[in-house]
């Protein structure tokens, strides 16, 4: 039986797939951080949206990411999200 782990390993054996996968790493780290912050705040997407003055759809899209085909969120949007969940946006270059 082909498991998720085996399928992923097979796909990542292709250098082009691996490069694309690695390129999305920072985006998925950001998404994970957004989700972690919202869950720690105890808020729903709808509550975050209300605090941001936007719609639930905007928050859902922000938390879902979507790769390079979608528009990346602006710093203003990320700041509003951070404030809505009781956090501060901190960006670093490493």
CATH number at residue 25: 1.10.260.40
Q: Which domain covers residue 52, as residue numbers?
A: 4-84
Domain tally, the chain: 1
Instruction: Report if residue 57 sits inside a domain.
Output: yes
User: Is residue 12 a contact partner of residue 4, using CB atoms and an 8 Å limit?
Assistant: no
pTM listed for this prediction:
0.79
Encode the chain (94 residues) as per-residue pLDDT tens digits: 889 999 999 999 999 999 999 998 988 899 999 999 999 999 999 999 999 999 999 999 999 986 545 678 999 999 999 999 999 999 999 8
Instruction: Report if residue 51 sits inside a domain.
Output: yes
Distance CA 54, CA 47 (A): 10
Instruction: Report if residue 90 sits inside a domain.
Output: no
Q: What is the DSSP string of 26-56?
A: HHHHHHHHHHHHHHHHT--HHHHHHHHTS-H
User: Pick from 92, 84, 77, 9: which is nearest to 49 by CA?
Assistant: 84
Instruction: Report if residue 29 sits inside a domain.
Output: yes
Instruction: Report if residue 37 sits inside a domain.
Output: yes
Instruction: Report if residue 44 sits inside a domain.
Output: yes
């Amino acid at each position: 039986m082909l498991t998720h782990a085996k399928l992923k390993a097979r796909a990542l054996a292709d250098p082009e797939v691996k490069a694309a996968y690695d390129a999305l790493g920072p985006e998925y780290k950001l998404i994970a951080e957004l989700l972690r912050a919202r869950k720690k705040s105890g808020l729903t997407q709808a509550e975050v949206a209300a605090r941001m003055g936007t719609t639930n759809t905007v928050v859902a899209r922000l938390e879902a990411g979507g790769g390079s085909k979608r528009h990346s969120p602006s710093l203003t949007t990320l700041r509003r999200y951070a404030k809505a969940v009781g956090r501060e946006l901190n960006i670093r270059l490493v």
